Structure 1
Amino acid sequence: MSDQLKKITASHCETPPAKYDDIKVLFLNCTLNRTPVLSHTEGLIKVAQNIFEANGAKTKVIRPVDYVIPAGLGLDMSKTPEWDKDDWPLIQKEVDACDVLIVCTSVWLGEKSSVCNRTLERMYGYTHQFNDKGQYRDYGKVGATLITGNEDGVKHCAMNILFSLSHIGYTVPPQADAGWMGEAGPGPSYMDEGSGGLENDFTNRNTTFLVWNCLHLARMLKDNGGVPAYGNLPDEWEAGCKAGFDSPEHKR
Protein backbone atom coordinates (compact mmCIF):
# COMPACT_ATOMS: atom_id res chain seq x y z
CA MET A 1 0.00 0.00 0.00
CA SER A 2 1.44 3.40 -0.98
CA ASP A 3 2.03 6.12 1.62
CA GLN A 4 -0.67 8.24 -0.03
CA LEU A 5 -3.23 5.47 0.21
CA LYS A 6 -2.25 4.78 3.83
CA LYS A 7 -2.98 8.42 4.72
CA ILE A 8 -6.33 8.41 2.91
CA THR A 9 -7.31 5.10 4.53
CA ALA A 10 -6.32 6.30 8.00
CA SER A 11 -8.36 9.49 7.53
CA HIS A 12 -11.48 7.64 6.41
CA CYS A 13 -11.17 4.98 9.09
CA GLU A 14 -11.14 7.59 11.87
CA THR A 15 -14.79 8.49 11.25
CA PRO A 16 -16.54 5.58 9.51
CA PRO A 17 -20.33 5.83 9.11
CA ALA A 18 -20.88 2.49 10.88
CA LYS A 19 -19.14 -0.39 12.62
CA TYR A 20 -18.01 -3.36 10.58
CA ASP A 21 -16.43 -5.65 13.16
CA ASP A 22 -19.09 -8.32 12.53
CA ILE A 23 -18.47 -8.39 8.76
CA LYS A 24 -16.57 -11.40 7.36
CA VAL A 25 -14.77 -10.99 4.06
CA LEU A 26 -13.47 -13.91 2.00
CA PHE A 27 -11.05 -13.48 -0.90
CA LEU A 28 -10.85 -16.43 -3.30
CA ASN A 29 -7.53 -15.84 -5.03
CA CYS A 30 -7.85 -17.83 -8.24
CA THR A 31 -4.19 -17.52 -9.14
CA LEU A 32 -2.52 -20.37 -10.99
CA ASN A 33 0.35 -20.29 -8.47
CA ARG A 34 0.18 -22.60 -5.48
CA THR A 35 1.30 -21.36 -2.06
CA PRO A 36 4.03 -20.21 -1.36
CA VAL A 37 4.75 -19.08 -4.94
CA LEU A 38 4.33 -15.31 -5.39
CA SER A 39 0.86 -14.24 -6.53
CA HIS A 40 0.66 -10.74 -8.01
CA THR A 41 -3.11 -10.90 -7.58
CA GLU A 42 -2.56 -11.38 -3.85
CA GLY A 43 -0.57 -8.14 -3.84
CA LEU A 44 -3.71 -6.26 -4.88
CA ILE A 45 -5.79 -8.31 -2.47
CA LYS A 46 -3.61 -7.05 0.38
CA VAL A 47 -4.47 -3.45 -0.51
CA ALA A 48 -8.18 -4.21 -0.10
CA GLN A 49 -7.53 -6.46 2.89
CA ASN A 50 -5.73 -3.68 4.76
CA ILE A 51 -8.68 -1.30 4.34
CA PHE A 52 -11.23 -3.91 5.40
CA GLU A 53 -9.20 -4.81 8.49
CA ALA A 54 -8.58 -1.17 9.38
CA ASN A 55 -12.35 -0.93 9.79
CA GLY A 56 -12.64 -4.05 11.92
CA ALA A 57 -13.83 -6.49 9.27
CA LYS A 58 -12.46 -10.03 9.48
CA THR A 59 -10.72 -11.21 6.32
CA LYS A 60 -9.43 -14.48 4.95
CA VAL A 61 -7.64 -15.38 1.72
CA ILE A 62 -7.90 -18.82 0.11
CA ARG A 63 -6.12 -20.01 -3.02
CA PRO A 64 -8.37 -22.68 -4.55
CA VAL A 65 -5.40 -23.98 -6.55
CA ASP A 66 -3.96 -25.29 -3.26
CA TYR A 67 -6.87 -27.74 -3.04
CA VAL A 68 -8.14 -30.71 -5.01
CA ILE A 69 -11.20 -29.34 -6.81
CA PRO A 70 -12.69 -31.78 -9.33
CA ALA A 71 -14.74 -30.70 -12.30
CA GLY A 72 -18.46 -31.14 -11.79
CA LEU A 73 -21.56 -29.64 -10.24
CA GLY A 74 -22.07 -32.08 -7.38
CA LEU A 75 -21.96 -31.01 -3.76
CA ASP A 76 -19.15 -33.50 -3.10
CA MET A 77 -17.61 -35.03 -6.20
CA SER A 78 -15.75 -37.64 -4.11
CA LYS A 79 -19.10 -39.38 -3.75
CA THR A 80 -19.26 -39.96 -7.50
CA PRO A 81 -17.49 -42.76 -9.42
CA GLU A 82 -15.25 -40.21 -11.19
CA TRP A 83 -13.33 -38.73 -8.24
CA ASP A 84 -11.70 -40.09 -5.07
CA LYS A 85 -11.16 -36.73 -3.36
CA ASP A 86 -12.93 -33.37 -3.34
CA ASP A 87 -11.80 -30.42 -1.20
CA TRP A 88 -14.46 -28.06 -2.49
CA PRO A 89 -16.88 -28.66 0.44
CA LEU A 90 -14.16 -27.22 2.74
CA ILE A 91 -14.03 -24.05 0.68
CA GLN A 92 -17.82 -23.88 0.41
CA LYS A 93 -18.04 -23.75 4.20
CA GLU A 94 -15.89 -20.62 4.15
CA VAL A 95 -18.05 -19.15 1.39
CA ASP A 96 -21.18 -19.84 3.40
CA ALA A 97 -19.70 -18.15 6.49
CA CYS A 98 -18.74 -14.87 4.80
CA ASP A 99 -20.76 -11.70 4.29
CA VAL A 100 -18.61 -10.41 1.43
CA LEU A 101 -17.07 -12.65 -1.23
CA ILE A 102 -14.41 -11.21 -3.53
CA VAL A 103 -13.46 -13.49 -6.40
CA CYS A 104 -9.97 -12.57 -7.60
CA THR A 105 -8.11 -13.71 -10.70
CA SER A 106 -5.26 -13.13 -13.07
CA VAL A 107 -5.97 -12.68 -16.78
CA TRP A 108 -4.81 -15.22 -19.36
CA LEU A 109 -5.67 -14.97 -23.07
CA GLY A 110 -8.10 -12.20 -22.17
CA GLU A 111 -10.06 -14.48 -19.83
CA LYS A 112 -10.25 -15.24 -16.12
CA SER A 113 -8.09 -18.13 -15.00
CA SER A 114 -9.16 -21.76 -15.33
CA VAL A 115 -9.11 -21.95 -11.52
CA CYS A 116 -11.58 -19.05 -11.36
CA ASN A 117 -13.88 -20.71 -13.86
CA ARG A 118 -13.91 -23.95 -11.91
CA THR A 119 -14.50 -22.05 -8.65
CA LEU A 120 -17.59 -20.38 -10.08
CA GLU A 121 -18.81 -23.68 -11.52
CA ARG A 122 -18.55 -25.39 -8.14
CA MET A 123 -20.39 -22.52 -6.46
CA TYR A 124 -23.08 -22.86 -9.12
CA GLY A 125 -23.51 -26.51 -8.15
CA TYR A 126 -24.86 -25.43 -4.77
CA THR A 127 -27.52 -23.07 -6.08
CA HIS A 128 -30.36 -25.57 -5.81
CA GLN A 129 -30.12 -25.24 -2.02
CA PHE A 130 -31.98 -22.53 -0.10
CA ASN A 131 -31.19 -20.26 2.83
CA ASP A 132 -33.21 -20.26 6.06
CA LYS A 133 -35.79 -17.93 4.48
CA GLY A 134 -36.38 -20.21 1.51
CA GLN A 135 -34.46 -18.08 -0.99
CA TYR A 136 -31.53 -19.29 -3.04
CA ARG A 137 -28.66 -19.81 -0.61
CA ASP A 138 -26.46 -16.83 -1.57
CA TYR A 139 -29.11 -14.13 -1.19
CA GLY A 140 -27.96 -11.48 1.28
CA LYS A 141 -24.25 -11.76 0.46
CA VAL A 142 -22.16 -9.11 -1.28
CA GLY A 143 -19.99 -9.98 -4.28
CA ALA A 144 -17.06 -8.18 -5.95
CA THR A 145 -13.89 -8.92 -7.93
CA LEU A 146 -10.20 -7.96 -8.12
CA ILE A 147 -8.14 -8.68 -11.24
CA THR A 148 -4.49 -8.36 -12.28
CA GLY A 149 -2.41 -9.14 -15.36
CA ASN A 150 -0.17 -7.73 -18.06
CA GLU A 151 -2.61 -8.03 -20.95
CA ASP A 152 -6.05 -6.64 -21.71
CA GLY A 153 -9.17 -8.19 -20.21
CA VAL A 154 -10.03 -6.64 -16.82
CA LYS A 155 -13.46 -5.38 -17.84
CA HIS A 156 -14.29 -8.55 -19.75
CA CYS A 157 -13.39 -10.73 -16.77
CA ALA A 158 -15.19 -8.42 -14.35
CA MET A 159 -18.39 -8.55 -16.42
CA ASN A 160 -18.33 -12.33 -16.39
CA ILE A 161 -17.50 -12.75 -12.71
CA LEU A 162 -19.95 -10.12 -11.45
CA PHE A 163 -22.75 -11.50 -13.62
CA SER A 164 -22.02 -15.00 -12.31
CA LEU A 165 -22.17 -13.82 -8.70
CA SER A 166 -25.34 -11.80 -9.27
CA HIS A 167 -26.99 -14.69 -11.10
CA ILE A 168 -26.58 -17.06 -8.15
CA GLY A 169 -27.88 -14.56 -5.60
CA TYR A 170 -25.09 -12.17 -4.61
CA THR A 171 -25.80 -8.45 -4.40
CA VAL A 172 -23.24 -6.46 -6.38
CA PRO A 173 -22.51 -2.90 -5.16
CA PRO A 174 -21.40 0.06 -7.30
CA GLN A 175 -17.76 -0.04 -8.40
CA ALA A 176 -17.53 -3.72 -7.54
CA ASP A 177 -14.45 -4.35 -9.67
CA ALA A 178 -10.89 -3.10 -9.54
CA GLY A 179 -7.81 -4.21 -11.39
CA TRP A 180 -4.34 -3.49 -12.64
CA MET A 181 -3.06 -4.14 -16.15
CA GLY A 182 0.58 -3.54 -16.92
CA GLU A 183 2.06 -2.89 -20.30
CA ALA A 184 0.46 -5.18 -22.86
CA GLY A 185 2.55 -8.18 -23.72
CA PRO A 186 5.41 -9.67 -21.71
CA GLY A 187 5.70 -6.63 -19.48
CA PRO A 188 6.00 -6.34 -15.70
CA SER A 189 3.40 -7.78 -13.35
CA TYR A 190 1.69 -5.93 -10.51
CA MET A 191 4.34 -6.38 -7.81
CA ASP A 192 7.42 -6.33 -10.04
CA GLU A 193 9.93 -3.60 -9.27
CA GLY A 194 9.32 -0.60 -11.47
CA SER A 195 5.86 -1.72 -12.59
CA GLY A 196 4.12 1.18 -10.84
CA GLY A 197 1.37 -1.17 -9.74
CA LEU A 198 1.42 -0.42 -6.02
CA GLU A 199 1.42 3.33 -6.67
CA ASN A 200 -1.15 3.36 -9.46
CA ASP A 201 -3.74 5.95 -8.41
CA PHE A 202 -6.50 4.61 -10.65
CA THR A 203 -6.17 1.09 -9.25
CA ASN A 204 -5.88 2.32 -5.66
CA ARG A 205 -8.92 4.56 -6.06
CA ASN A 206 -11.09 1.80 -7.52
CA THR A 207 -9.92 -0.70 -4.89
CA THR A 208 -10.72 1.74 -2.10
CA PHE A 209 -14.17 2.48 -3.54
CA LEU A 210 -14.79 -1.26 -3.93
CA VAL A 211 -13.97 -1.92 -0.26
CA TRP A 212 -16.15 0.87 1.09
CA ASN A 213 -19.10 0.02 -1.16
CA CYS A 214 -18.85 -3.63 -0.08
CA LEU A 215 -18.81 -2.53 3.56
CA HIS A 216 -21.78 -0.17 3.10
CA LEU A 217 -23.88 -2.78 1.30
CA ALA A 218 -22.94 -5.60 3.67
CA ARG A 219 -23.93 -3.38 6.61
CA MET A 220 -27.30 -2.56 5.03
CA LEU A 221 -28.05 -6.18 4.18
CA LYS A 222 -26.98 -7.50 7.58
CA ASP A 223 -28.95 -4.85 9.48
CA ASN A 224 -32.08 -5.53 7.43
CA GLY A 225 -31.99 -9.31 7.45
CA GLY A 226 -30.76 -9.63 3.88
CA VAL A 227 -33.00 -9.36 0.82
CA PRO A 228 -36.72 -9.43 1.73
CA ALA A 229 -38.20 -12.89 1.23
CA TYR A 230 -41.12 -11.83 -0.92
CA GLY A 231 -41.64 -12.61 -4.58
CA ASN A 232 -38.37 -14.56 -4.77
CA LEU A 233 -39.11 -17.92 -3.10
CA PRO A 234 -38.66 -20.89 -5.45
CA ASP A 235 -40.87 -23.27 -3.48
CA GLU A 236 -43.77 -20.78 -3.42
CA TRP A 237 -43.46 -20.27 -7.17
CA GLU A 238 -43.52 -23.99 -7.79
CA ALA A 239 -46.58 -24.26 -5.53
CA GLY A 240 -48.40 -21.72 -7.69
CA CYS A 241 -47.93 -18.62 -5.49
CA LYS A 242 -46.58 -16.47 -8.29
CA ALA A 243 -46.33 -12.94 -6.92
CA GLY A 244 -47.39 -10.43 -9.55
CA PHE A 245 -49.01 -13.04 -11.80
CA ASP A 246 -52.61 -14.22 -11.85
CA SER A 247 -53.11 -17.78 -10.65
CA PRO A 248 -53.93 -20.16 -13.52
CA GLU A 249 -57.38 -20.88 -12.11
CA HIS A 250 -58.24 -17.15 -12.23
CA LYS A 251 -57.44 -16.75 -15.90
CA ARG A 252 -60.38 -16.26 -18.21
Structure 2
Amino acid sequence: MQTYKTEFRQRLPLYLPSLYLPREMKASLKGRYTNDKSTAVVTLAVNAGDVKLLASMSDVTVVKGPRLNNLTLTVEKPAFFIFDYDVPKKFMNSIKVAEKPLKLTYNHGHGENRTVMDGSLVLDSANKVSVNYMFGTRNFNLKYSYVHGGVTTYEPCYDLGKNAWDFSVSRRLYDDVFKATYESWSRDFALEWSRNSKFNGTFKVTHIHISSFYLFFYFLYSILSV
Protein backbone atom coordinates (compact mmCIF):
# COMPACT_ATOMS: atom_id res chain seq x y z
CA MET A 1 0.00 0.00 0.00
CA GLN A 2 1.30 3.46 -0.92
CA THR A 3 0.12 6.75 0.54
CA TYR A 4 0.81 10.19 -0.85
CA LYS A 5 -0.06 13.73 0.18
CA THR A 6 0.45 17.02 -1.61
CA GLU A 7 -0.31 20.44 -0.17
CA PHE A 8 0.07 24.00 -1.36
CA ARG A 9 -0.96 27.47 -0.26
CA GLN A 10 -1.62 30.56 -2.31
CA ARG A 11 -2.58 34.02 -1.10
CA LEU A 12 -5.32 35.32 -3.38
CA PRO A 13 -7.16 38.64 -3.60
CA LEU A 14 -10.90 38.50 -2.97
CA TYR A 15 -12.82 41.08 -4.99
CA LEU A 16 -16.08 42.47 -3.64
CA PRO A 17 -17.88 45.65 -4.73
CA SER A 18 -15.70 48.59 -3.66
CA LEU A 19 -13.66 46.22 -1.47
CA TYR A 20 -10.33 44.48 -1.89
CA LEU A 21 -9.45 41.80 0.64
CA PRO A 22 -6.42 39.49 0.56
CA ARG A 23 -7.33 35.93 1.47
CA GLU A 24 -5.28 32.78 1.93
CA MET A 25 -6.25 29.64 0.01
CA LYS A 26 -4.98 26.23 1.08
CA ALA A 27 -5.37 23.08 -1.00
CA SER A 28 -4.34 19.52 -0.27
CA LEU A 29 -4.44 16.20 -2.10
CA LYS A 30 -4.36 12.94 -0.19
CA GLY A 31 -4.30 9.52 -1.79
CA ARG A 32 -3.83 5.86 -1.10
CA TYR A 33 -2.99 3.10 -3.53
CA THR A 34 -3.32 -0.66 -2.99
CA ASN A 35 -3.23 -3.60 -5.37
CA ASP A 36 -6.97 -3.60 -6.00
CA LYS A 37 -8.14 -0.10 -5.16
CA SER A 38 -6.97 3.49 -5.14
CA THR A 39 -8.58 6.52 -3.53
CA ALA A 40 -7.93 10.25 -3.53
CA VAL A 41 -9.42 13.18 -1.64
CA VAL A 42 -9.04 16.83 -2.67
CA THR A 43 -9.62 19.57 -0.08
CA LEU A 44 -9.77 23.31 -0.74
CA ALA A 45 -9.88 25.78 2.18
CA VAL A 46 -10.21 29.57 2.05
CA ASN A 47 -9.83 31.76 5.14
CA ALA A 48 -12.16 34.76 4.96
CA GLY A 49 -11.40 36.68 8.11
CA ASP A 50 -12.59 34.62 11.10
CA VAL A 51 -14.73 32.39 8.85
CA LYS A 52 -13.31 29.36 7.05
CA LEU A 53 -14.73 28.06 3.76
CA LEU A 54 -13.98 24.43 2.94
CA ALA A 55 -14.78 22.16 -0.02
CA SER A 56 -13.74 18.52 -0.33
CA MET A 57 -14.40 15.75 -2.82
CA SER A 58 -13.14 12.26 -3.57
CA ASP A 59 -11.83 10.92 -6.87
CA VAL A 60 -15.24 9.31 -7.54
CA THR A 61 -16.63 12.80 -8.07
CA VAL A 62 -14.30 13.40 -11.02
CA VAL A 63 -13.22 10.02 -12.36
CA LYS A 64 -16.71 8.66 -13.03
CA GLY A 65 -17.88 11.80 -14.74
CA PRO A 66 -19.31 15.06 -13.40
CA ARG A 67 -21.49 14.19 -10.44
CA LEU A 68 -22.17 15.48 -6.93
CA ASN A 69 -21.39 12.29 -5.01
CA ASN A 70 -18.84 12.67 -2.20
CA LEU A 71 -18.78 16.46 -2.52
CA THR A 72 -18.96 18.33 0.81
CA LEU A 73 -19.10 22.09 1.42
CA THR A 74 -18.36 23.59 4.84
CA VAL A 75 -18.63 27.04 6.41
CA GLU A 76 -17.05 27.31 9.85
CA LYS A 77 -16.46 29.95 12.48
CA PRO A 78 -14.47 28.24 15.23
CA ALA A 79 -16.21 28.05 18.63
CA PHE A 80 -19.40 29.58 17.17
CA PHE A 81 -20.88 27.49 14.35
CA ILE A 82 -20.15 25.00 11.60
CA PHE A 83 -22.28 24.18 8.55
CA ASP A 84 -21.65 21.06 6.48
CA TYR A 85 -23.45 20.34 3.21
CA ASP A 86 -23.10 16.89 1.68
CA VAL A 87 -24.29 17.95 -1.77
CA PRO A 88 -26.09 14.74 -2.85
CA LYS A 89 -28.52 14.55 0.05
CA LYS A 90 -27.35 15.86 3.39
CA PHE A 91 -27.07 19.22 5.14
CA MET A 92 -25.48 19.45 8.59
CA ASN A 93 -24.91 22.34 10.93
CA SER A 94 -23.78 22.88 14.49
CA ILE A 95 -24.45 26.05 16.47
CA LYS A 96 -24.28 27.23 20.06
CA VAL A 97 -27.54 27.51 22.05
CA ALA A 98 -27.01 28.99 25.52
CA GLU A 99 -23.36 27.92 25.19
CA LYS A 100 -24.47 24.34 24.44
CA PRO A 101 -23.70 22.62 21.10
CA LEU A 102 -26.78 21.97 18.96
CA LYS A 103 -26.23 19.66 15.97
CA LEU A 104 -28.80 19.34 13.17
CA THR A 105 -28.70 17.03 10.15
CA TYR A 106 -31.15 17.15 7.23
CA ASN A 107 -31.35 14.21 4.83
CA HIS A 108 -33.08 14.63 1.46
CA GLY A 109 -32.05 12.41 -1.42
CA HIS A 110 -32.47 13.56 -5.00
CA GLY A 111 -35.64 12.00 -6.36
CA GLU A 112 -36.90 11.16 -2.88
CA ASN A 113 -40.00 12.98 -1.77
CA ARG A 114 -39.06 13.09 1.90
CA THR A 115 -36.84 15.08 4.23
CA VAL A 116 -35.67 13.79 7.61
CA MET A 117 -34.15 15.91 10.35
CA ASP A 118 -31.97 14.59 13.18
CA GLY A 119 -30.98 16.90 16.00
CA SER A 120 -29.12 16.62 19.27
CA LEU A 121 -28.48 19.09 22.08
CA VAL A 122 -25.70 18.17 24.51
CA LEU A 123 -26.53 19.71 27.89
CA ASP A 124 -23.43 18.35 29.62
CA SER A 125 -21.28 15.22 29.64
CA ALA A 126 -24.14 13.14 31.12
CA ASN A 127 -27.31 14.64 29.60
CA LYS A 128 -28.39 14.85 25.96
CA VAL A 129 -31.68 15.51 24.15
CA SER A 130 -32.19 14.27 20.58
CA VAL A 131 -35.02 14.42 18.05
CA ASN A 132 -35.88 12.72 14.77
CA TYR A 133 -38.57 14.14 12.49
CA MET A 134 -39.79 13.36 8.98
CA PHE A 135 -41.33 16.50 7.48
CA GLY A 136 -44.96 16.27 6.43
CA THR A 137 -45.69 13.29 8.69
CA ARG A 138 -46.32 12.50 12.35
CA ASN A 139 -43.04 10.59 12.53
CA PHE A 140 -41.51 12.53 15.40
CA ASN A 141 -39.33 11.00 18.12
CA LEU A 142 -38.01 12.81 21.18
CA LYS A 143 -35.32 11.07 23.26
CA TYR A 144 -33.60 12.02 26.48
CA SER A 145 -30.34 10.32 27.42
CA TYR A 146 -28.78 10.29 30.86
CA VAL A 147 -25.44 8.60 31.60
CA HIS A 148 -24.94 7.67 35.24
CA GLY A 149 -21.44 7.04 36.50
CA GLY A 150 -20.14 6.71 32.95
CA VAL A 151 -21.39 3.10 32.64
CA THR A 152 -25.20 3.12 32.88
CA THR A 153 -27.40 4.91 30.33
CA TYR A 154 -31.12 5.63 30.74
CA GLU A 155 -33.06 6.59 27.60
CA PRO A 156 -36.80 7.39 27.68
CA CYS A 157 -38.22 8.12 24.22
CA TYR A 158 -41.60 9.49 23.08
CA ASP A 159 -43.00 8.55 19.65
CA LEU A 160 -45.58 11.12 18.54
CA GLY A 161 -46.84 9.01 15.61
CA LYS A 162 -47.63 6.06 17.88
CA ASN A 163 -48.41 8.25 20.91
CA ALA A 164 -46.31 5.89 22.98
CA TRP A 165 -43.27 5.80 25.21
CA ASP A 166 -40.22 3.57 24.91
CA PHE A 167 -37.66 3.07 27.63
CA SER A 168 -34.21 1.50 27.57
CA VAL A 169 -31.43 0.95 30.06
CA SER A 170 -27.93 -0.14 29.11
CA ARG A 171 -24.95 -1.05 31.25
CA ARG A 172 -21.32 -1.31 30.18
CA LEU A 173 -19.21 -4.00 31.80
CA TYR A 174 -15.65 -3.96 30.48
CA ASP A 175 -16.02 -4.77 26.72
CA ASP A 176 -19.64 -5.92 27.07
CA VAL A 177 -22.81 -3.84 26.91
CA PHE A 178 -26.12 -5.21 28.20
CA LYS A 179 -29.27 -3.39 27.15
CA ALA A 180 -32.93 -3.83 28.09
CA THR A 181 -35.71 -2.13 26.09
CA TYR A 182 -39.45 -1.80 26.63
CA GLU A 183 -41.88 -0.62 23.90
CA SER A 184 -45.20 0.39 25.41
CA TRP A 185 -47.20 0.42 22.16
CA SER A 186 -46.42 -3.27 21.44
CA ARG A 187 -45.80 -4.27 25.08
CA ASP A 188 -42.59 -5.81 23.84
CA PHE A 189 -39.60 -6.44 26.09
CA ALA A 190 -36.23 -7.03 24.44
CA LEU A 191 -32.70 -7.70 25.57
CA GLU A 192 -29.42 -7.07 23.80
CA TRP A 193 -25.86 -8.15 24.46
CA SER A 194 -22.98 -6.70 22.45
CA ARG A 195 -19.20 -6.78 22.66
CA ASN A 196 -16.57 -4.57 21.07
CA SER A 197 -13.11 -5.84 21.95
CA LYS A 198 -9.76 -5.43 20.22
CA PHE A 199 -8.72 -8.86 21.42
CA ASN A 200 -11.93 -10.95 21.38
CA GLY A 201 -13.64 -9.39 18.35
CA THR A 202 -17.06 -7.80 17.95
CA PHE A 203 -20.52 -9.35 18.04
CA LYS A 204 -24.10 -8.53 18.97
CA VAL A 205 -27.00 -10.70 20.15
CA THR A 206 -30.28 -8.82 19.95
CA HIS A 207 -34.07 -9.17 19.74
CA ILE A 208 -34.30 -11.68 22.55
CA HIS A 209 -37.96 -11.11 23.36
CA ILE A 210 -39.34 -11.75 26.82
CA SER A 211 -43.04 -12.35 27.38
CA SER A 212 -42.86 -12.13 31.16
CA PHE A 213 -43.00 -8.63 32.66
CA TYR A 214 -41.43 -9.84 35.90
CA LEU A 215 -38.60 -11.69 34.14
CA PHE A 216 -37.76 -8.52 32.25
CA PHE A 217 -37.39 -6.46 35.40
CA TYR A 218 -35.45 -9.26 37.06
CA PHE A 219 -32.92 -9.04 34.22
CA LEU A 220 -32.96 -5.24 34.48
CA TYR A 221 -32.22 -5.42 38.18
CA SER A 222 -29.43 -7.91 37.54
CA ILE A 223 -27.50 -5.74 35.08
CA LEU A 224 -27.88 -2.61 37.22
CA SER A 225 -26.64 -4.31 40.34
CA VAL A 226 -23.40 -5.59 38.75
TM-score under structure 2 normalisation? 0.25
Report the structure, 1 or 2, having the larger helix content. Answer: 1
Q: Which structure has the higher relative contact order (CA within 8 Å, separation 6+)?
A: 1
Greater strand proportion: 2
Q: Which has the larger radius of gyration?
A: 2
